[in-house]
């Protein structure tokens, strides 16, 4: 059984540039909080979509990208716990793959898996 799990953008904040009133041409950056889209769930500063469609990894990622998102990159133990507790009896795709080189896991943003910072039991990432 396969399900898609995505994280909408980097976080629920959108960066907005505003022109500074003090100096011409200078810009200030302000973070503005936006709610998660309907059907998405928020945890900390990220939005997650737990799909109920059964798809392979590539099709799941394609669906995520069509929504302006991507498969999740797990960045903390808290995030792993949130995902794990969401639906314990379901299986989800995450943004980690060894499709380029078997045995070399890369996140969807191209960064390598740092196994010393992995948040799951040994052997379960394969």
What are 1-21's pLDDT values in tens digits?
Answer: 344 445 544 444 333 333 334
- Express each pLDDT in 48-87 by its tens digit: 998 888 899 999 999 999 988 999 999 888 998 888 887 6
Global pTM reads 0.70
Q: Between 30 and 37, where is the model more confident?
A: 37
Query: Which class is domain 5-11+37-117?
Result: alpha beta
Q: Which of 90, 102, 55, 96 is nearest to 75 (CA)?
A: 96
């Amino acid at each position: 059984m396969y399900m898609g799990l995505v994280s909408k953008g980097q976080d629920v904040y959108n960066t907005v540039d505003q022109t500074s009133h003090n100096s011409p041409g200078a810009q200030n950056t302000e973070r503005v909080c936006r709610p998660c889209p309907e059907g998405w769930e928020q945890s900390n500063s990220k939005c997650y979509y737990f799909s109920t469609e059964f798809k392979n990894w590539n099709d799941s990622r394609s669906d995520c990208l069509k929504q302006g998102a991507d498969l999740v990159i797990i960045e903390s133990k808290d995030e792993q716990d949130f995902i794990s507790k969401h639906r314990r009896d379901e299986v989800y795709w995450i943004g980690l793959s060894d499709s380029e080189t078997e045995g070399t896991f890369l996140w969807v943003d191209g960064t390598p898996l740092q196994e010393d910072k992995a948040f799951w039991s040994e052997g379960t990432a394969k």
